[in-house]
Amino acid sequence: MAVNATTPSLNPADIASYGPVIPVIVIDRVEDAIPLAEALLAGGVKVLEVTLRTPAGLPAIEAIARQLPEAVVGVGTVLNAEDARRASEAGARFAVSPGYTSEVGSACKGLNLPLLPGVATSSEIMQALADGFQFLKLFPAEAVGGIPLLKSWASPFGQVSFCPTGGITNATAPNYLALPNVRCVGGSWLTPGDAVRSGDWARITQLAQATQALRQAS
């Protein structure tokens, strides 16, 4: 398969350079993958995190990677080395994990697959730093402390930047983006389940377009 064999390499820091929001996408039907991705691209959102929470996740990644090379499609919910391997072969250009283990970190490095590791504690940050990762995902952001936690971490972990994900909305995103150690946020509000099920791609494009103003609002 090896769909991503000829795609340009991606530095982990590049993930945050395309826009303030990375959509966290759950796909139930593979046939929704392309129109959904096209709707997000039309709204200016180029980086797409397709999760492995459903059986449709992996084939959806492969479809987007093959048919929409302008999209930077990545894989979410990576729990182990096998998840990383299968996603890389399907064409994922980056990986996101809800937590962090050295197994996942090592596997992604071996695959040349940029990883955005999830952390929720100082110990996890220290382990990720020891393994060479400095751009991390705070998850689940709202549940574990959100903005106050990120402010507390700014001093002891000054070299770390974050992509908070989990419970963040269009209304609260600017508050996160205003923090100096936050480079982008992740959110599922760009792809509401009812809009995907009904094929309301215009609504998804509008939600994507609205994210472009979030950085300025922060």
Q: From the candidates 38, 62, 137, 142, give the one annotated as an active-site residue.
A: 137
What distances in angstroms separate CA 127 from CA 21, 77, 100, 102, 112, one per listed residue? 26, 19, 8, 8, 20
Which one of the listed residues 38, 49, 62, 142 is annotated catalytic? 49
Rounded Cα–Cα distance for residues 64 and 108 (Å): 20
Annotated active-site residue 49? The verdict is yes
Evaluated on CA atoms 197, 201, 206, 210, the torsion sign reads positive
Tokens of 105: 């970190």
Q: Is 142 a catalytic residue?
A: no
* Enzyme catalytic residues: 49, 137
